[in-house]
Amino acid sequence: MGAGKSTIGRLISKNLNRSFYDTDELIEQKAKQTIPDIFNKRGESGFRELEAEIVGKVSTQKEAVVALGGGAVINNKSWKILESTGFTFYLKWPDKILLKRILHSQHRPLVTENDLTERGNALQKKLDLRQERYHQATHIIECYAGMSPQEIAEQIIHLLEQK
């Protein structure tokens, strides 16, 4: 959450002239609902089922750039698909930066606490739960304050060109 996956993915796809897919956007299109509405009506497990289906479809696309929702990798089915079909990148930001970016967001269905302290604690728990899988990515991109999306995209493009 809040790492800039969609923005950076679009930059990479444009620079490399590749198709771009944002799984959250595709999920909303398929369900004809917003992600918060999907969570409200189907729960997290219903959302993750849709997400795994979308991950399976986009993973068949050749030379594509895919931006995943932050929790997509915790689904073992989705992770196995991702590992077997391409390279994965973890945009590793300091937790403080991510928390600051998303703390005030009202559009994060897994962060429902009203109190900002409670919301911050819930976000930190989500990040902590996902760290092990994030660190299994093919490449970890160390991000820092002041780093632009273009700089991050250029690092990823450089790594892809070496393959």
pLDDT digit string, tens, across residues 86-114: 899 999 999 888 888 777 665 655 555 56
User: Could you tell me the pTM of the whole model?
Assistant: 0.87
pLDDT at 111: 54
Query: Tokens 């391409």 sit at which residue?
Result: 86
d(CA 60, CA 70): 20
Contacting residues for 132 by C-beta, under 8 A, at least 6 apart? none
How far apart, in Å, are the Cα atoms of 73 and each of 90, 100, 132, 142? 10, 22, 10, 19
The per-residue pLDDT for 34 is: 93
Other beta carbons less than 10 A from residue 70's beta carbon:
20
**Average pLDDT over the chain, rounded to an integer:** 89
- What kind of fold does domain 5-158 have according to CATH? Rossmann fold (3.40.50)
Are residues 160 and 87 in contact, defined by beta-carbon separation less than 8 angstroms? yes
Q: Express the helix, strand and coil content of the chain in percent, nearest 5 each.
A: 60, 10, 30
pLDDT at 12: 98
